[in-house]
Amino acid sequence: MAPRRLKLVTILVGVLLAGVGLLTWTQPWFGVVVESPQGGQLDLTAAGDVAGSPVSALSLAALALVGALTIAGRVFRVVLGLLQVALGASIAVTAGTALSDPVRASGSVVTDATGVDGQDSLRALVSSTWATPWPWLALVVGVLAALLGVAIVVTSGAWPQAGRKYTATRLVPADPASDPSATWDSLSVGDDPTDPDDPTDLVAPDEPAAPVDDAGARPGADDRPSR
């Protein structure tokens, strides 16, 4: 698969999985039949925001991770891939834990309806439970998200390089000899920028050199009184 196509497919799959994870969080996960303390039965529903509350935050984190992947370099992609594995595994564990104990996952719903608290008391009130397809879908999403993270780590070297817009640029000082403005400044003070042996190049423009006579001495050098 071409590098650009590989990157596009990976990002689209990541967005899809994160979106489905958020969707499962909004749906009913368990149905619970409770023997009411006042008599009769209560049919209750535990949604994903109760039975699998961490799924929302984990899915949002996975969505943000996919956004970071679009501009990440190779090393950072490996780090993000490992993080994606952790997020996917966490979603799968959350859904699997809820499926393994629906009464515990739905405990707050039963408590709100009956006023009874404590796991033993709740289990005594619950006569039956059943799971909808949504927690199973959340479990599948978590597993696939973890596998996507593994794929990101394995294929990170095959992705195209990040654009120059996101590449760090090092600033270096310009060569004065190649600066047109510096050349004009030299000409304005009488320097020849094309002559490497011009002695006036060694003198700063704001500090003119003292004139030298034919004997090589500066004027006034012999005017000092002798002792």
Instruction: Give the chain's mean pLDDT.
Output: 80
Range in 3-7, 91-95, 146-150 the model is least confident about: 3-7
Other C-beta atoms lying within 10 Å of the C-beta of residue 18: 24
pLDDT of residue 178: 57
Q: In the block, which residue shows the tokens 């059943």?
A: 130
Q: Which CATH architecture has domain 3-162?
A: Up-down Bundle (1.20)
One-letter amino acid of 223: D
pLDDT of residue 52: 92
Report the C-alpha gap between 69 and 101 in whole angstroms.
Answer: 36
Q: With bands split at pLDDT 50, 70 and 90, how would you rate the model's confidence at 40?
A: confident
pLDDT of residue 202: 46
- Domain ranges across the chain: 3-162, 175-214
Report the C-alpha gap between 132 and 39 in whole angstroms.
Answer: 27
Report the C-alpha gap between 12 and 5 in whole angstroms.
Answer: 10
Report the C-alpha gap between 181 and 185 in whole angstroms.
Answer: 6
Between 147 and 160, residue with greater pLDDT: 147
Q: Report CA-CA distances (Å) from 54 to 57, 91, 109, 175.
A: 6, 8, 17, 58
* Confidence (pTM): 0.68
Report the C-alpha gap between 127 and 36 in whole angstroms.
Answer: 10
Element (H, E) at 183: helix 180-188
Strands 126-131 and 41-47: unpaired
The per-residue pLDDT for range 26-39, each reduced to its tens digit, is: 999 999 998 877 77
Q: In the block, which residue shows the tokens 């992705």?
A: 159
Phi and psi torsions of 127, nearest 5°: -95, -30
Rg (CA), the chain: 38
The torsion of the CA quartet 19, 22, 24, 25, rounded to 10 degrees, works out to 180
Instruction: Report helix, strand or coil for 108.
Output: helix
Q: With bands split at pLDDT 50, 70 and 90, how would you rate the model's confidence at 207?
A: low
Q: With bands split at pLDDT 50, 70 and 90, how would you rate the model's confidence at 190?
A: low
The per-residue pLDDT for range 164-179, each reduced to its tens digit, is: 554 555 555 555 555 6
Q: With bands split at pLDDT 50, 70 and 90, how would you rate the model's confidence at 107?
A: confident
Tokens at 43, concatenated: 């049919």
Q: With bands split at pLDDT 50, 70 and 90, how would you rate the model's confidence at 11?
A: very high
pLDDT of residue 185: 66
